[in-house]
Amino acid sequence: MRSLWDSFKIYIMLNWTPVLFAGDKREDKFMEDAIRKILREIGEDPDREGLKNTPLRVKLSMEYLTQGYKEDPGKILKKAIFHEHCDHMIIVRDIELYSLCEHHMLPFFGKCHIGYISKDKVYGVSKLARLVDCFARRLQVQERLTQQIASCLMKPIKAEGVGVVIEAQHLCMMMRGVTKQNSKMITSAMLGSFRSEHATRDEFLNLIGMARS
Ligand SMILES: [Zn+2]
């Protein structure tokens, strides 16, 4: 004889499992369906062989390119702080950067340079690169991206100053619109002594190779 509890479990399984899975599937398929619509809208046949798996691929790629929303920049930095007496400037140059512009959802890519001065704490280099990715893997404008990286670096090590410079090329400018292939956008955020002291700012710009001649 089946116990009442067993019958209850079977009842739940039969009645609710399909509902739960259907819910998952609906949510899962939402982006794929939207991409199929876009394909149709541009005059394509989403059912032809080459495009059959494209909606899924686009979905997975979009999730990867925007995974920064799921990451906590504070947590990334927390694990990357080391005690070290050091009161000169530390620079990490040429951190690769790939992001998506929020106006066209097209890539912009380039390099990020970070400099900071702190009395007795330093950041692990690899975590600085992860911080850049955390903010870059979202829909962005380059100005905000630069500012976010800089602001985030000040507090955890009580930095005396932080400087961030990003140089990037935007596909929305290169492939469409004004189609300017060689233009580069440069943005900077200077905080603390990097903002208030010319000598500090100049030293930073010099070391990343961006000083005015
Ligand atoms: Zn754009």
Query: pLDDT of 109-168, one tens digit each?
Result: 999 999 999 988 999 999 999 999 999 999 999 999 999 999 999 999 999 999 999 999
Do 113 and 51 belong together in one domain? Answer: no
86: containing domain: 74-207
- Give me ligand 1 centre to Cα 68, in Å: 19
Do 182 and 80 belong together in one domain? Answer: yes
pLDDT value at 12 more than 70:
no
**Residues acting as catalytic residues:** 101-104, 142, 170, 172
Residue written as tokens 């900071």? 116
Contact between 153 and 162 under an 8 Å Cβ cutoff? The reply is yes
Length of the chain: 213
Q: How far apart are CA 29 and CA 20, in angstroms?
A: 14
CATH of the domain at 38: 1.10.286
Do 82 and 34 belong together in one domain? Answer: no
What amino acid occupies position 111? K
Q: How far apart are CA 83 and CA 123, in angstroms?
A: 9
pLDDT value at 71 more than 70:
yes
- Whether 213 is in a domain gets the answer no
- Give me ligand 1 centre to Cα 116, in Å: 30
